[in-house]
Amino acid sequence: MVLEFDVRPGAGLLTGEVCSGEGGPKDFVAFFVFYDEAGDPISPPYEGLGLSKRGAYRYIRGSVEGRSAPFSLYVKAPAGARRLVVELSSWNFEGRMAFSMFPDISGAMVRSRAGKTTANKSQIVDEGSFSPGSVVDLQIEIARRASDAEKAYIVAVRQFDKAGSLVPGRIPGLSHSEAVGPYRYVDLRDGDEAAVVRLAFDGLPSAVRYDVRVQSWRSAGPPDARLLKKTHRPDAATQFEQAQSLLDEFLHGTLHSGSLGLVVITATTKPIDAENRLNRPQIAAKTLARLGYRVVYVYHRFSAQEELCAQQVPDVLQLPVDVFSRLYSRIAAFDGLDARIAIFSMPDDVACRSIGVFKFYGWRTVYEVRDDWEEFAAAGVGKWYRPAFERFLTGASDDIVCVSPPLLQKMEMFAGGGRTGFLSPNATFKEFVAAAAPYRSARAGAGSRNAAPVIGYFGHLTEAWFDFNLIASAARLEPSWRFELIGFGAPDLTLPANVRVLSAVPTLDLPGLTSHWDVAMIPFRQSPLARAVDPIKVYDYLSLNLPVVSSEMGRLSELAGCYIYDDLAGFLKCCRSAYDDIASRPVAIPFDADRNVWEHRIETLLGSIMDRRQMTCGAR
């Protein structure tokens, strides 16, 4: 196969994907010849290419098992070059080379020998220079075509030195291939008008400038992309210095704050901010701060290039885990308060490396388990999980705290030696209980006024957990019933007319929005992962005096007002029973509003931890 390109002097890149081969690094080869304006060949060598008796060349790796493999051919057109001829052929592979070509040579068009032209399927959306000590942070919008789906495009970053030569290397936070270099796939799905991609990167050694291109991958046409925002912010080294200064200031302030103690909480999720739906570690951090403790909250970020989060929670210092991994000894050495507790909620290498340091300095260490991480990993979600880390933490920590009986049983088995942990279930907010009070009273005093059950759910609507097939089947079997789903992450599905999907709303708006519901539900797909969960929303539901129909999970079978099903027939039966037993009559579901709020849960947890600490000290 021979291709021709119009070129101008300078660096360029030919990219594409191979759809044949055996995965060998020399399955195929590309030979290059540049021609000047008069049509005469320009003798090699050419920068960036090998040289043999046959001419300038570059090997191309083949694909494996029928999967496409991306490739790129970097060339730098010599002075006077106007045309490039590339001959692609098999080398170590005996079969035919099947490929797609995505050219990017100075914005040229591709021309076959038959003279046909095709539009360039790569678009440069930004280029610029690096500033010392800073990171380039870009937001790029890519419009969707009707046929676009997963991996429709890639966004790739190239970096160049002073001579204009391509600088190879990996960029944290981006995927990497020998063919394309640093890149990120862009998925576009039905219902999307566009995708917004955020990239953050700094310069590789010797790189002085860069460009970023959007390239069609599985899309049929060229990309339609634009740069939405471009900023320069501190790089990882500068951020670390800033974080260290924030920590020193925070610890110094803790000495003079009059706080009850210092608590470290490690988490698997994002920083605490106004836009996040809070999970247990985030809630614990905020609640502890309200109770008079100072908290170091350790959050996850995908790359050290991401900006440090805003410090907007009083008495809480938020540090990314990559920074914490370098500063935990500094925190552990703080001895200004007697009550010092390190709560590890993520069983990773950082927890395993740091727990011994905290124990050495006299901290009480806790492994808090809110999910079955082993099952998360089996489901392909928690790829960071390593069983050995969790088993180490269960043995090394002073205390094991679990949110459900199945998790407690499993962790006690991991710990061995007859060790016992304790339960600390989830809860709801005092503010939610207050907002729910009038609706709870109304339901308990009058019962339902609906002719047929209205059954609702609020929370995450991802297909990975939520059983949409169950709800669709139930809705078809009971067309007079109404199902309402409020939340985020819902897929684009065609559901029966009596199933209504609403967007997520602020938490304190839910009591009013659900005032006409008769029954609440938690229809998660049945799995070991679901059975280990103690869903926070069950406490919200019960505070609203809504009976709860749920798949088996946690300790729900022990709670009054909860109905547990195991299949579609059981789901329908539980919904009817919940409606007949509670919703249709003036019945108050037992719910202790004082004990099932976060303040009580956290105070009880701290009390148990400190009691065990006193027992341990007394035994010594």
Q: Which residues of 162-192 are buried (b: 16+ CB within 10 A; e: fewer)?
A: eeeebbeeebebbeeeebbbbbbebebeeee
Do 477 and 377 share a domain, yes or no? no
Instruction: Please give the residue range of the domain that contains residue 303.
Output: 236-423
Tens of pLDDT, residues 489-532: 888 889 999 999 999 999 999 999 999 999 999 999 998 889 99
Same domain, 309 and 385: yes
378 and 479 both lie in a single domain: no
CATH classification at residue 460: 3.40.50.2000
Same domain, 437 and 344: no
- How many Å apart are CA 489 and CA 565, to the nearest integer? 24
Q: Are residues 50 and 169 in the same domain?
A: no
What CATH number does residue 183 fall under?
2.60.120
Give the pLDDT confidence score for residue 12 in this predicted structure: 66
Same domain, 137 and 89: no
Looking at the structure, do residues 65 and 156 belong to the same domain, yes or no?
no
Half-sphere exposure of 364 (CA within 13 A, CB side): 25
- As for how many domains the chain has, the answer is 4
> Is residue 608 domain-resident?
no
Most confident by average pLDDT, 273-287, 297-311, 540-554 = 540-554
Phi/psi of residue 133, nearest 5 degrees: 75, 15
Burial letters 325-359, b for 16+ CB under 10 A, else e: bebbeebbebeeeebbbbbbbbbbebbbebbebbb
Between 45-54, 122-131, 273-282, 459-468, the lowest mean confidence (pLDDT) is in: 273-282
How far apart, in whole angstroms, are the C-alpha atoms of residue 213 and residue 223? Answer: 10
Q: Is the pLDDT of residue 147 over 60?
A: yes
- Tell me the pTM: 0.71
Residues 47 and 179 in one domain: no
Same domain (yes/no): 14, 68: yes
Q: How far, in Å, CA of 13 to CA of 76, rounded?
A: 8
pLDDT exceeds cutoff 70 at 9: no
CA distance 270 to 381: 16
Same domain as 552, residue 407: no
Tell whether 227 and 242 lie within a shared domain: no
pLDDT of residue 332: 97
Q: Is the pLDDT of residue 112 over 70?
A: no
**CA 369 to chain CA mean position, Å:** 19
If asked whether residues 59 and 183 sit together in one domain, one would say: no
Count the neighbouring beta carbons within 10 Å of the beta carbon of residue 561: 21
Query: Which residues, 6 or more positions from 568, have their beta carbon under 8 angstroms from its beta carbon?
Result: 470, 473, 474, 477
Spatial separation of the C-alpha atoms in residues 449 and 347, rounded to whole Å:
49
55 has pLDDT over 70: yes
Residue 109 has pLDDT above 60, yes or no: no
Last residue of a domain, one of 189, 213, 233: 233
